[in-house]
Structure 1
Amino acid sequence: MGKSLNTNLAKAKSGKNDEFYTQLSDIDKELKHYRNHFKDKVILCNCDDPRVSKFFHYFSYNFEKLGLKKLIATCYKSQDCDLFSQNKSEQAIFLEYNGDKNGDNFPNPEEIGIIPLQGDGDFRSKECIELLKQADIVVTNPPFSLFREYIAQLIEYDKKFLIIGHQNAITYKEVFQLIQEDKIWLGVDNGGTKWFQVNDDYDIATESRKKIENGQKYFSMGSIVWFTNLDIKKRHENLILYRTYNSEEYPTYDNYDAINVDKVADIPIDYAGVMGVPITFIDKYNPRQFEIIGITKAVGFHLRTKLYPQQVQVDTNGKRTLVTKLNDGATIKLNSAPKDKTYYVVDDKYYVQMYARVLIKRK
């Protein structure tokens, strides 16, 4: 990720700048793969200001087409919750829509129930949990800063869901374990760049990540994925393998009993042992084709075969620093110091560390 994206994600984690509104085009592109799941279901969008939320827009305008039973959306007190005007509201609310009543196939104000909440509309509050209990499927873009807590709540209440998150969430202990247990997986339209509507005062340092359309400000983010537990055709499709194994192209880690695979497309067809692959593999994961053994980060540290003493980190500018970072992931031992990447020195031996790798094995 670039510096600007890291900065904005850091702000999101602090909870001060965590409002990213998903675009209707991205919602439609993904949700078209789940239409059979929505019939006769109660849909909850519980992290949405209905006045700007494209999730509420999508479901309300496609209510009859999808055959929905009910649509519920909750709104934080601090947001602009007045759906049909530009006035700010100090009252947290939830909206209930049961479909078209006057035959115009349009969600009119008189057809939408606007019910005040006693609290602030936080998804963790008791009254919002009661709304969650009514729902069959939750579809939304939850706060990045609360992603672990949000997904844990969905699992606790045994809810079906389709939500947006950052790809790095795959490496979170709580999320990775759910993926490994085949309780959640990735959706269809993952990765690439997506544009999110943000508040006018949202700071975007990089011009290429910013645009203004019809007076609205947008911020682009890469590595955004959909997390779900709704079954889709994609997760039953085998990944086509064509490469063959050789020890030079697929070095063995020095501290994990596995070989390194730099690209998902390069997974060898003839290797039966454990392989370390990029986390983007999860987007192609078919549980009938592969077994997930672990990951080369905190949740998988028990799989390490060795630990290193303090090492010298040498960056691309030649700066040398005493660190212990080499124990944070999978490493490869080199015969000589590389010239174009950061490396580590331990007892006059050279090592490089790989990005997070998912440890897999063919079935």
Structure 2
Amino acid sequence: MANSNLKNARNAKNDEFYTQYHDIEKEIGAYLELNPNAFRGKTVLMPCDDPEWSNFTKFFAQNFERYGIKKLISTSFAPESKSLKSNYQPTLFETTAPQFDKTKTIVNGKIFTLTHDKSADGKIDVNDLEWTYLKGDGDFKSEEIKKLRDEADIIITNPPFSLFREFLAWMVQAEKQFVVIGSKNAITYKEIFSLIKSNKMWVGTTSFSKDMLFISPEEIDPSEKPDSATRTVEGIVYLRSPSVWYTNLDHGRRHQPLKLMTISDNLKFNKKLKGKTFYDKYDNYDAIEVPFTDAIPSDFNGVMGVPISFLDKYSPEQFEILGMASSAGYNNEVVGIPFLGDKDARPLINGKNTYARVFIKNRERK
């Protein structure tokens, strides 16, 4: 899903894009590498989900015993509330269940839970999921879902992009651990960057250099959306999105320091810097420009402006984050140090805007 697709999703309130199983498996594996007991004895909640289709539900149900999960809860939003009433058809899974209700299937969300070996086959997995209708439509802001939030230890999901800020605040307010997917651009939001700066949230292990591919629940005709980033494989439509994982669960990569060269060695050996002028000082901010993460110098003790993609290489033991400058216009409130001028929220070089920058310093080596 390209940026235009994200915009269309927000405008249409169509946020139904399903995360691929292997993306979930790769990301969650990174937390378990650092802490094999990250989920042991925990209640895991997946709101904003569609348990009948969601790979989140499938993945955690299949790994329930392996991870030592205490309870798995997954909830969905009512079709009517997602403006899907006109073409919605319940699945055979739902219609053949004794609790099926042709009225509730439209106006009520569903809740799936997993706690024990219901099928008595000697293992706990996806076949042991139990479901019923929620009392309400499944909106995460409802009191019904808030109670589930308060019961949970960890929240894991791909929330609606259009409600990401609100959803993040909903989790942070309850002081929950979480692993969620959001747009890379969300980093420039004041509320979100403030959490990153204060080390209360960080990005996951998925690289900034790649966009994520999501499964679309609807067929898309590329001729109708020529600017959309879609790919169809064996009848399944995938949409590319500039997205990353956001979390407050620790993982090993964020404690791996970057290998840095000195300024002089970068100018000699870093191919990206060949024949160009770098490390310029900003006109309106007391810092130098470092346009590539792999060009951060080891021997500079002042403030440096680096791309936001730096955050997937950020080690809190190696660097200190001071703030951010972007066209969002947060200026002093986010940056933390007054600009020397008022022309733009982004730093200037020779009177010209640069890109959004995160301001960092090397931590003193002991």
What does residue 261 of structure 1 align with? Answer: 290
Q: Which secondary structure does the structure 1 equivalent of 2:358 belong to?
A: strand
Kept in 2: contact 1:50–1:81 (CA 8 A): no
Residue of structure 2 aligned with 1:176, choices 193, 199, 203:
193
Quick one: distance in 2 between partners of 1:132 and 1:301? 34
Structure 1 position 305, deviation (Å): 2.9
What does residue 218 of structure 1 align with? Answer: 238
Q: C-alpha deviations, 1:40-97, integer Å up to 9, x for none?
A: 1111110110111000000111111111111100110016796763768213111111
CA pair 112-26 structure 1, distance change in 2 beyond 3 A: same
Give identity over the alignment, percent: 40
Structure 1 position 354, deviation (Å): 1.1
Quick one: distance in 1 between partners of 2:218 and 2:354? 38
Q: Which secondary structure does the structure 1 equivalent of 2:263 belong to?
A: coil
Kept in 2: contact 1:51–1:84 (CA 8 A): no
Kept in 1: contact 2:305–2:357 (CA 8 A): yes
What does residue 238 of structure 1 align with? Answer: 257
Residue of structure 1 aligned with 2:3, choices 3, 6, 30:
6
How large is the Cα RMSD of the aligned pairs? 2.4
Quick one: distance in 2 between partners of 1:157 and 1:203? 41
Residue of structure 1 aligned with 2:155, choices 106, 119, 138:
138
Query: Which 10-residue stretch deviates more, 281-290 or 48-57?
Result: 281-290
Alignment length (residue pairs): 324
Kept in 1: contact 2:2–2:239 (CA 8 A): no
CA pair 56-84 structure 1, distance change in 2 beyond 3 A: farther
Quick one: distance in 2 between partners of 1:198 and 1:220? 10
Structure 1 position 260, deviation (Å): 0.3
Quick one: distance in 2 between partners of 1:165 and 1:11? 16
What does residue 115 of structure 1 align with? Answer: 132
Quick one: distance in 2 between partners of 1:61 and 1:248? 53
Structure 1 position 278, deviation (Å): 0.2
Q: Which secondary structure does the structure 2 equivalent of 1:299 belong to?
A: coil
The TM-score with structure 2 as length reference comes to: 0.82
What does residue 85 of structure 1 align with? Answer: 93
Quick one: distance in 2 between partners of 1:196 and 1:130? 29
Kept in 2: contact 1:49–1:81 (CA 8 A): no
- Judging by fraction of residues, say which structure has more strand: 1
Q: Is structure 2 residue 328 aligned with structure 1 residue 289?
A: no
Structure 1 position 31, deviation (Å): 0.8
Give the letter for the 2:354 counterpart: M
What does residue 251 of structure 1 align with? Answer: 280
What does residue 85 of structure 2 align with? Answer: none
Query: Which 10-residue stretch deviates more, 241-250 or 226-235?
Result: 241-250
What does residue 271 of structure 2 align with? Answer: none
What does residue 356 of structure 2 align with? Answer: 356
Q: C-alpha deviations, 1:267-292, integer Å up to 9, x for none?
A: 01111000000001111111121111
Query: Which 10-residue stretch deviates more, 183-192 or 196-205?
Result: 196-205
CA pair 213-51 structure 1, distance change in 2 beyond 3 A: farther
Q: Which secondary structure does the structure 2 equivalent of 1:226 belong to?
A: strand
Quick one: distance in 2 between partners of 1:305 and 1:33? 38
Structure 1 position 107, deviation (Å): 3.8
What does residue 301 of structure 1 align with? Answer: 332
Q: C-alpha deviations, 1:194-236, integer Å up to 9, x for none?
A: 2111132556524883233443322122x32111101111111
Quick one: distance in 1 between partners of 2:94 and 2:112? 17
Quick one: distance in 1 between partners of 2:43 and 2:8? 33
Quick one: distance in 2 between partners of 1:273 and 1:202? 50
What does residue 305 of structure 2 align with? Answer: 276
Stretches of structure 1 lacking an aligned partner (at least 5 in a row):
309-325, 334-350
What does residue 196 of structure 1 align with? Answer: 214
What does residue 47 of structure 1 align with? Answer: 48
Stretches of structure 2 lacking an aligned partner (at least 5 in a row):
83-87, 96-101, 268-275
CA pair 184-34 structure 1, distance change in 2 beyond 3 A: same
CA pair 86-70 structure 1, distance change in 2 beyond 3 A: closer
Q: Which secondary structure does the structure 2 equivalent of 1:38 belong to?
A: coil
List aligned pairs for 1:318-333, cutoff 5 A.
326-333=343-350
What does residue 64 of structure 2 align with? Answer: 63
CA pair 354-207 structure 1, distance change in 2 beyond 3 A: closer
Quick one: distance in 1 between partners of 2:115 and 2:67? 12
Structure 1 position 190, deviation (Å): 2.8
Q: State the 4+ residue runs in structure 1 displaced beyond 6 angstroms.
A: none
Quick one: distance in 1 between partners of 2:201 and 2:56? 21
Query: Which 10-residue stretch deviates more, 18-27 or 299-308?
Result: 299-308
CA pair 174-354 structure 1, distance change in 2 beyond 3 A: same
Q: Which secondary structure does the structure 2 equivalent of 1:189 belong to?
A: coil
Structure scoring higher RCO (CA < 8 A, sep ≥ 6) equals 2
Structure 1 position 34, deviation (Å): 2.2
Kept in 2: contact 1:15–1:145 (CA 8 A): no
Quick one: distance in 2 between partners of 1:193 and 1:81? 32
Quick one: distance in 2 between partners of 1:206 and 1:104? 51
Structure 1 position 147, deviation (Å): 0.8
Quick one: distance in 2 between partners of 1:206 and 1:304? 43
